[in-house]
Structure 1
Amino acid sequence: MIPALAPVIMLVAGALFAIGLASLIARCNLIKMVMGLEFLGKGVSLLFVLGGYLAGDVGVSQAVVITLIAIEAVVAGVALALVILLRRAYKTFDIAVISRLSRGGDL
């Protein structure tokens, strides 16, 4: 039996995933791209927990989500470190400016 809140949880997870994907596709700011990556991960985590609940095996889904959260923390740390290095080198967070400068263009 599907609980009454399952469609709402799926809608929230889908919205988180869509927001994350949109911020990755927009490619305007490095910080927004890292945040979008985190939104993607949170949406997938929410779907994993809901799927485990609906399948009746919450323990396995929680173990997968905890592992996913640990991996997301490492990825976010490395991504933010790279963003800081790019900011120091190019003095901007804008992807278009960074790609233009890396090809030898002027500001």
Structure 2
Amino acid sequence: MSEEFTGPPWAVDYTQDAEKYRIGLPEEPREACREALFELLTARHPYRGEKVEPARSTVPRGPHVAYFDSYRGWIRFVFLPRVAEPQIVVEEIFWQ
């Protein structure tokens, strides 16, 4: 029996700081952040979204940034495309 790469929705995990920041956002930006994260979780490949770009152009498979709330906020995340339990790890959330 061969293991196959599973598709979306992906599992998600937050660093402690990202989770605290997300919980502390006002309601409207928190909802916009939730919607952006939902798009990442359901995308066939999270690094290929419309509002997604590499955090550093020199590391194309490293951390990426997804923008939300008309580019007023962003989510820095890493996608771990493991065969068992592919996962998105949210490292940082920022909104202004």
Same-fold call, TM cutoff 0.5: no
Return the structure number with greater relative CO, CA threshold 8 A, min gap 6. Answer: 2
Q: TM-score, normalised by structure 1?
A: 0.28
Specify which structure has the higher proportion of helix: 1
